[in-house]
Amino acid sequence: MLMNREHPCFNVRIYALIFNEGSEVLLSDEYQLDTKMTKFPGGGLQFGEGTVDCLKREAMEEFGQDIEVFEHFYTQDHFQPSLFYESCQLLSIYYRALFTGPPQFRISVKPFDFDEWKNGNISFRWKTLDTISGDDMTLPVDKLVADKLRAEYEASRGSRWTE
């Protein structure tokens, strides 16, 4: 579904890198806009909203619980056309985050763990940081971030993640 626009626009997306016990990151498997995608949890910035407020709102919408956003990880620094919106430029921002309590929603062990391919369906699963790769992800900037996460994890041998 492409949106025609007379004037170029920006599509600002805010994502959470949510960690489990310092060795896993949460992935979101979704069926949206008739497209199967694996991505990091998050969504679109609304007008008048700050980036951290956006991420906390998205967490409540997707998980039904709060997260603690504790550190900026990456802001996309190259041109990326929006995948779904014609004439829009994508800008993606990623933050490290944690749940404020144990997850209160179902976390699956397999990708796309839902019964039917219906727009809006979503499932979540953990992916180990020592095996995550850009190849696991659907969206171009998520691919880059997954590779950056793994490289940082391997360079630190996990110490940063367990402090």
54 located within any domain: yes
162 located within any domain: no
16 located within any domain: yes
What averages of pLDDT result for each successive group of 10 residues across the chain (163 residues)? 62 96 94 94 96 98 95 96 85 96 95 93 96 96 97 78 46
128 located within any domain: yes
Number of domains present in the structure of the chain? 1
Domain that holds residue 95: 9-157
1 located within any domain: no
pLDDT of residue 121: 94
Q: What is the CATH number of the domain that holds 23?
A: 3.90.79.10
40 located within any domain: yes
112 located within any domain: yes
Per residue, what are the HEC states of the chain?
CCCCCCCCEEEEEEEEEEEECCCEEEEEEEEECCEEEEECCEEECCCCCCHHHHHHHHHHHHCCCCEEEEEEEEECCCCCECCCCCCEEEEEEEEEEEECCCCCCCCECCCCCCCCCCCCEEEEEEEECCCCCHHHCCCHHHHHHHHHHHHHHHHHCCHHHHC
163 located within any domain: no
